[in-house]
């Protein structure tokens, strides 16, 4: 059993080692000096953070509802929430693109046109599209995490809170939510990590315009497509480092809070 377990860990170590051996410090430094890659780095940090905060904000009440209540259509909602997880990434991107550009009604009303002309907030092929593409997948994982979190918290304390004068909403806010903080951190971490790795939906829905909608996953693709394998590997390692830093930071935060 130990051998089987070790084989997977070994595979990950070998993959990372191969990347490290392939590149050199000079390639790495050259890559991070490129203004395009720097811009992609900061856009990645920004969009992943926004997508992860939005995911937690949506996933917490939704996970709670799915865990606690047997409302009409609950099973359907449960299935729908999982769809972004199983959907091929390109299909998700295509679906987002179609949603925003589908003409509706006799005057061919389009969501994107309305957002751009009336609200002044164009989405497609701009940074909000990156966030929305990342959010669509990241939120599904966050909902799963939050649902499991609330499944593990006994509803009895919320019941007692209701007998003491709370509404259901107050019982959620004052009793359930403070108990769920570990799950909230886990959901945020998972959502951030998922958003970091997102590529297909971003490529289709936000495009790959350098300095505008380019995030690090797109950079790897763009550098590969022009034969810059060294730069692609260097950026990949930056992404690996970012993921490790975020995971370690959040894990230590969890340990710090629990001690």
Can you give the binding site for another protein, defined by CB under 8 A?
Answer: 154, 156-157, 159-167, 170, 174-175, 178-179
Torsion of Cα atoms, 195 then 200 then 205 then 211, to 10°: 70
- Select 131 or 180, whichever has its Cβ closest to another protein: 180
Long-range contacts of range 16-19, CB-CB < 8 Å, 24 or more positions apart? 16/240, 19/233, 19/236, 19/237, 19/240
Q: Which residue from 26, 53, 17, 24 is spatially nearest to 240, judged by alpha carbons?
A: 17
Structure-token pair, residue 108: 């061919």
- CA atoms lying within 13 Å on the CB side of residue 146: 31
- Select 143 or 176, whichever has its Cβ closest to another protein: 176
Residue 107 sits at φ, ψ, to 5 deg, of -95, 15
- Select 46 or 177, whichever has its Cβ closest to another protein: 177
- Select 18 or 164, whichever has its Cβ closest to another protein: 164
Structure-token pair, residue 241: 């480092």
- Select 115 or 177, whichever has its Cβ closest to another protein: 177
């Amino acid at each position: 059993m130990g051998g089987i377990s070790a084989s997977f860990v070994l595979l990950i170590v070998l993959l990372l080692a191969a990347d490290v051996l392939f590149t050199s410090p000079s390639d790495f430094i050259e890559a991070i000096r490129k203004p395009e890659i720097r811009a992609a780095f900061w856009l990645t940090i920004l969009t992943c953070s926004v997508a992860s905060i939005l995911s937690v904000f949506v996933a917490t009440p939704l996970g709670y509802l799915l865990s606690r209540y047997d409302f009409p259509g609950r099973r359907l909602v449960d299935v729908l929430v999982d769809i972004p997880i199983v959907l091929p990434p390109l299909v998700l991107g295509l679906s987002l693109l179609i949603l925003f550009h589908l003409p509706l009604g006799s005057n061919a009303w389009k969501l994107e046109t309305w957002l751009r002309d009336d609200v002044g907030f164009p989405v497609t092929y701009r940074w909000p599209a990156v966030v929305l593409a990342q959010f669509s997948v990241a939120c599904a994982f966050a909902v799963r995490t939050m649902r499991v979190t609330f499944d593990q918290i006994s509803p009895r304390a919320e019941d007692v809170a209701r007998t003491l004068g709370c509404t259901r909403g107050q019982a959620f806010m004052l009793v359930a939510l403070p108990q769920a903080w570990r799950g909230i951190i886990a959901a945020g971490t998972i959502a951030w990590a998922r958003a970091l790795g997102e590529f297909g939906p971003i490529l289709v829905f936000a495009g790959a315009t350098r300095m505008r909608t380019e995030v690090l996953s797109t950079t790897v693709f763009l550098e590969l497509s022009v034969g810059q394998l060294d730069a692609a590997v260097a950026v990949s390692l930056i992404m690996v480092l970012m993921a490790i830093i975020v995971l370690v930071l959040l894990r230590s935060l969890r340990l710090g809070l629990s001690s």
